Amino acid sequence: MSSAIEKNQQYTLTFEDLTHDGAGVGKIDGFPVFVPNALPGERGQVKIIKVKKGYAFGRLLQLDEESPDRVEAPCPIYKQCGGCQLQHMSYEGQLKAKHKQVVEVLARIGKINDVTVHQVLGMKDPWRYRNKAQVPVADREGGLVAGFYQKRSHDIIDMQQCLIQQSTNDEVVQVVRSICEKYGVRAYDEASHRGVLRHIMARYGAVTGETMVVLVTRTADLPHKKKIVEEIVAALPQVKSVVQNVNTKRTNVIFGDETRVLWGEEYIYDYIGDIKFAISARSFYQVNPEQTKVLYDKALEYANLSAEDSVIDAYCGIGTISLFLAQQAKHVYGVEIVPEAIEDAKRNAELNGLAERVTFEVGEAEAVIPNWYKQGVGADVIVVDPPRKGCDEALLQTIIDMKPKRVVYVSCNPATLARDLRVLEDGGFKTVEVQPVDMFPHTTHCEVVAKLELK
């Protein structure tokens, strides 16, 4: 099939679709070609740059027909940076594309065609939403630069501001970078595994305004530590916490095992709705709190709880959904594999006066929940919010065995959601409705909440 398509050849292509990472998809005699920066409904000249067995990659040379959804990306480094994929598409267009993706994936992978998929719940203002910036640092001729990696590389693009980042975090990153530069702190170099500063991280409480600065270093020793901290605190009055995390390993994982508070508190606080959360340097906390509230309100609506209901929250994290549910349910049982997250969940339950109504346990959902089931813990409603790979088979089987009245499935990956819904449907549940929520405008990610009822 692919022999007809040759590298370096030029073709005219009509684009019909988007890939999961935002490239346009066109076909030459039925053979798919993926082309970044092209939108569905457009036609253009493409140069083939790589041919694989079942598909090819192309570069857009010129557009002959433009989509009405095409816009000029407002970010000056959008084309180089790998942080967003859809800034060249109008926000309405993005929401339509995400809705289409969810509908098609449910039909193709889950064979679910007869369910209501609501229009995507988007943001009124889809910019400046991220409350956490973790920015790698590099040495350049002029000193330290901080920015995101260029697409498909580990070269850092110097970035003064990011349009999907809370502006407070942009300011924090730049101020901290210049203070570290002033004191001669060298950036970490991946190739030689030398240097000190690996990442600058800023966390911001959207409701409280509290800010945390985290310096991720290769060495336990941070030169001129006292002076650096003093200057950060003087320059940024909103900062409540300055933390150092030490990561001595050769790895692209951001955090190491050791975290120490250099100044201020170990936690900052923020709210989602009425629930207060303590956030440490390494806490998992949703990066778009405004849309998280939209997502959890929908999950709560789908759970349709009475004061007598018991709920199991698989993959409970720091207790975000559990605590929302505990306001209405009799009792919520939460399970999570990360011990620190369970510590955070217990602390957050105390913080909100809900400790009596929740039970949190560390472990794999697929091991802990069957164990609870054996001990006689039933559930009227089961809520799952798994990682991108979806639910474990053993957990799905336990849900089928436990026969709750309702299952609420919160997903960050429509493909694994569709696969798991198929299993639950075959096991006696019916998918009633599906609500996509745009948690990450200008990227290809889409969160989805699905409501299932026992047949």
**DSSP codes, 151-173:** TTS-PBPP-S--TTB-HHHHHHH
Q: Which of 81, 84, 412, 446 is catalytic?
A: 412
* CA–CA dist 87, 454 (Å, integer): 41
* CA–CA dist 11, 27 (Å, integer): 10
303 Cβ neighbours under 8 A, 6+ residues apart: 311, 325, 328, 329, 381, 383, 406, 408
Tokens linked to 311 = 């709920």
Q: Are 106 and 434 in contact (CB under 8 A)?
A: yes
165 Cβ neighbours under 8 A, 6+ residues apart: 128, 130, 133
Asked about 75 being catalytic, the answer comes back as no
Q: Are 85 and 442 in contact (CB under 8 A)?
A: yes
Strand partners of residue 399: none
User: Where are the alpha helices (H) located in 223-338, listed in sequence order?
Assistant: 225-235, 289-303, 320-326
* CA–CA dist 303, 384 (Å, integer): 11
Q: Are 414 and 99 in contact (CB under 8 A)?
A: no
Instruction: Compute the residue count for the chain.
Output: 455
Query: Any idea which residues carry the catalytic annotation?
Result: 412
